[in-house]
């Protein structure tokens, strides 16, 4: 799917050139046309020929592509920390320090969404200690391309909220519903999909898991379970959506087992929805368990917002080099800091999504002086090149075809489970749920997107608040949060946005690592 600029410009603004690329703000990979004047973006549109975005681009994509590059708060340059103070160094000096440090001791890579496939392949060529901040799966995370969702006639959504993750793919669910599909939602908060659902249940995560398990039971269950059973049996090719954040919880293994059995019993199509890692890597929980034995960390993205105080203290004995867009908490805890390019300021292959495809986007914006491509810096430091071609061919993907067409599907197995589902569920009275909402971490560095969700609050159902005798605030892990009651939250759930941290410039909040017992979880038992 190679896109070209439109012959008739979509903008009325005066421009010098137009560039076509694919957004890597989420897994949708929508095509866009960027209009430039004097090398600066002056207008931006979704590409009308793109089958995913269909001419649209979400607020997140617009912000990342058009607003972030020239944000006055953006980092520029290379900085070395000396006795808690940062001093600027030139590129050759920074590279020399990198070589001195990284070629000694044990190094781990922590890769966020800002890392492209080249950084990942280079890291894997150096060490097996590659960690990510999202659930890692060893199976194809989607059996159906999201543009095919519109063909489903029965859709069971389990805590899936594409508007907060893969924004533009929501259109395919809307198309399905307008075409007569029956949408049944299970969720722990009233989400956008709930508004479109014919039936919805707002439940704690353990009760959602129990509901799914009953779909496999031969014994008769309550009416709504039986209705879903009949629907899945009668409407072959039904679609099961599952929020990827559910796998960042104590329920990961049982959910994968349930998914496997539901796929086998009803032949449902499935898609995980949200940020997920479909390639070999290790979880943040594994990283925290290994932190003491590591000497160096290479970080791409703001992963330290998941760190607890004890993890941040442990960094004093490590050498940390990081690549950051803004002076966030990870930047402040780095020993060597490179101001990083964004995905549209370098060639970028987006691989971290739940739809099982790779998207290649060419560079569409020339970065300003003082911004550095993480891959090129690490390539020079280690004096070795990544070889994405061989890596992709091992996955059955033609690298040259990917570059030419812009997209390629990953090959992989389906979720598997041996034997019967072992539920062993212990119901808990209260869960703490932390996840992204409309405004992600980077969005809080831009005034107009930050204003959409200025303050970090704890949301709770009024019945739960009354039961716990909570009124105006709640203390979680020593952090005090303003409490807001809402019927849109399931009973037995406290929801707090995970996208805040202490170094944000506007209305700073608290990183999840500062108050969660298990910072790598999005659901944890509370207290």
Say whether pLDDT at 87 is over 90. Answer: yes
Same domain flag for 183 and 263 = yes
Same domain flag for 355 and 454 = no
Residue 8: inside a domain, yes or no?
A: no
Predicted pLDDT of residue 103: 86
Say whether pLDDT at 423 is over 80. Answer: no
Question: φ, ψ for residue 158 (rounded to 5)?
Answer: -115, 95
Same domain flag for 59 and 107 = no
Residue 414: inside a domain, yes or no?
A: no
Are 300 and 374 in contact, with CB atoms under 8 Å apart?
A: yes
Same domain flag for 442 and 489 = yes
What mean pLDDT is reported for the chain? 93
Same domain flag for 269 and 150 = yes
Predicted pLDDT of residue 192: 85
The winner for highest mean pLDDT among 120-124, 408-412, 416-420 is 120-124
Same domain flag for 296 and 268 = no
Say whether pLDDT at 426 is over 70. Answer: no
Give me the mean pLDDT over the 285-302 stretch.
Answer: 96
Percent of the chain with pLDDT over 70: 98
Give me the mean pLDDT over the 351-364 stretch.
Answer: 92
Beta bridge partners of residue 296, listed in sequence order: 107, 319
Q: Exposed e or buried b for every residue in 346-383, given b needs 16+ CB within 10 A?
A: bbbbbbbbbbbbbbbbebbbebeeebbbbbebbbebbe
Predicted pLDDT of residue 394: 87
Helix (H) or strand (E) holding 79: strand 78-82
Say whether pLDDT at 153 is over 70. Answer: yes
Residue 460: inside a domain, yes or no?
A: yes
Predicted pLDDT of residue 349: 95
Residue 424: inside a domain, yes or no?
A: no
Question: Residues 6 or more apart from 506 whose CB is under 8 A from it?
Answer: 444, 447, 450, 454
Say whether pLDDT at 375 is over 70. Answer: yes
Give me the mean pLDDT over the 429-433 stretch.
Answer: 94
What band does 499 get if pLDDT is binned at 50, 70 and 90?
very high
C-alpha neighbours within 13 Å on the C-beta side of residue 481: 26
CA-based nearest residue to 348, from 65, 5, 157: 65
- Domain C-terminal end among 273, 304, 327: 273
Distance CA 379, CA 217 (A): 54
Are 348 and 361 in contact, with CB atoms under 8 Å apart?
A: yes
**What would the pLDDT profile of 160-210 be if each residue is shown by its tens digit?**
989 888 889 999 999 999 999 999 999 999 988 889 999 999 999 999 999
Percent of the chain with pLDDT over 90: 83
The winner for highest mean pLDDT among 372-376, 400-404, 424-428 is 372-376
Residue 3: inside a domain, yes or no?
A: no
- Domain range holding 177? 146-273
Predicted pLDDT of residue 422: 62
Give me the mean pLDDT over the 28-56 stretch.
Answer: 93
Residue 7: inside a domain, yes or no?
A: no
Predicted pLDDT of residue 84: 84
Same domain flag for 192 and 300 = no
Same domain flag for 286 and 389 = yes
How many Cβ atoms from other residues are within 10 Å of residue 311's Cβ? 17
Domain at 366, CATH number: 3.40.50.740
Residue 439: inside a domain, yes or no?
A: yes
Predicted pLDDT of residue 421: 63
Predicted pLDDT of residue 412: 83
Domain at 479, CATH number: 2.40.40.20
Same domain flag for 159 and 47 = no
Predicted pLDDT of residue 425: 59
CA-based nearest residue to 272, from 297, 247, 237: 247
Question: φ, ψ for residue 382 (rounded to 5)?
Answer: -90, -10
Domain at 193, CATH number: 3.40.228.10
**What would the pLDDT profile of 463-494 be if each residue is shown by its tens digit?**
999 999 999 999 999 999 999 999 999 999 99
- Domain C-terminal end among 223, 257, 273: 273
Number of domains the chain is built from = 4
Distance CA 1, CA 31 (A): 10
Question: φ, ψ for residue 376 (rounded to 5)?
Answer: -65, -35
Give me the mean pLDDT over the 426-446 stretch.
Answer: 90
Predicted pLDDT of residue 416: 82
Same domain flag for 396 and 445 = no
């Amino acid at each position: 799917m190679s896109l070209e600029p439109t012959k008739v410009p979509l903008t009325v603004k005066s421009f010098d050139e137009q560039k076509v690329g694919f957004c890597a703000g989420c897994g949708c990979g929508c095509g866009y046309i960027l209009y430039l004047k004097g090398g600066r973006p002056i207008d931006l549109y979704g590409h009308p020929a793109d089958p995913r975005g269909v001419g649209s681009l979400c607020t997140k994509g617009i912000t990342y592509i058009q607003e972030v590059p020239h944000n006055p708060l953006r980092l520029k340059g290379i900085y070395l920390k000396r006795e808690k103070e940062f001093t600027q160094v030139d590129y050759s000096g920074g590279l020399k320090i990198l070589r001195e440090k990284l070629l000694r001791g044990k190094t781990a890579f922590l890769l966020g969404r800002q890392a492209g496939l080249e950084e990942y392949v280079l890291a894997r060529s150096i060490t097996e200690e590659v960690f990510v901040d999202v659930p890692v799966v060893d199976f194809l995370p989607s059996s159906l391309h999201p543009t095919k969702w519109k063909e489903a006639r029965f859709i069971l959504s389990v805590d899936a909220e594409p508007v907060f993750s893969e924004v533009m793919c929501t259109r395919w669910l809307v198309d399905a519903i307008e075409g007569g599909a029956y949408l049944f939602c299970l969720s722990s908060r009233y989400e956008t999909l709930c508004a479109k659902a014919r039936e919805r249940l707002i439940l704690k995560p353990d009760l959602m898991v129990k509901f799914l398990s009953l779909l496999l039971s031969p014994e008769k269950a309550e009416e709504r379970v039986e209705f879903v059973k009949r629907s899945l049996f009668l409407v072959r090719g039904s679609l099961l959506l599952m929020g990827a954040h559910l796998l960042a919880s104590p329920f990961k293994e049982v959910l994968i087992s349930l998914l496997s059995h539901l796929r086998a019993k009803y032949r449902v199509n499935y898609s995980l929805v949200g940020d997920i890692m479909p390639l070999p890597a290790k979880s943040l929980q594994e990283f925290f368990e290994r932190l003491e034995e590591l000497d160096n960390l290479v970080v791409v993205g703001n992963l330290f917002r998941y760190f607890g105080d004890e993890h941040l203290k442990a960094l004093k004995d490590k050498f940390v080099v990081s690549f950051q867009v803004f002076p966030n908490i990870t930047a402040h805890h780095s020993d060597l800091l490179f101001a990083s390019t964004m995905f549209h300021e370098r060639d970028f292959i987006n691989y971290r999504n739940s739809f099982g495809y790779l998207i290649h986007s060419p560079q569409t914006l020339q970065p300003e002086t003082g911004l550095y491509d993480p891959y090129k810096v690490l390539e020079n430091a280690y004096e070795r090149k990544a070889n994405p071609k061989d890596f992709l061919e091992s996955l059955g993907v033609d690298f040259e075809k990917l570059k030419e067409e812009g997209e390629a599907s990953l090959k992989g197995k389906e979720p598997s489970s041996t034997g019967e589902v072992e539920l062993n569920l212990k119901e808990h009275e209260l869960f703490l749920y932390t996840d992204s909402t409309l405004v992600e971490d980077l969005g809080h560095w831009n005034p107009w997107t930050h204003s959409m969700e200025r303050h970090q609050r704890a949301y709770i159902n009024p019945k739960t608040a009354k039961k716990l005798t909570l009124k105006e605030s709640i203390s979680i892990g020593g952090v005090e949060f303003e409490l807001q009651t809402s019927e849109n939250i399931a009973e037995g759930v406290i929801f707090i946005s995970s996208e805040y941290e202490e170094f944000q410039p506007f209305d700073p909040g608290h990183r999840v690592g500062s108050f969660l017992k298990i910072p790598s979880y999005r659901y944890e038992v509370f207290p």
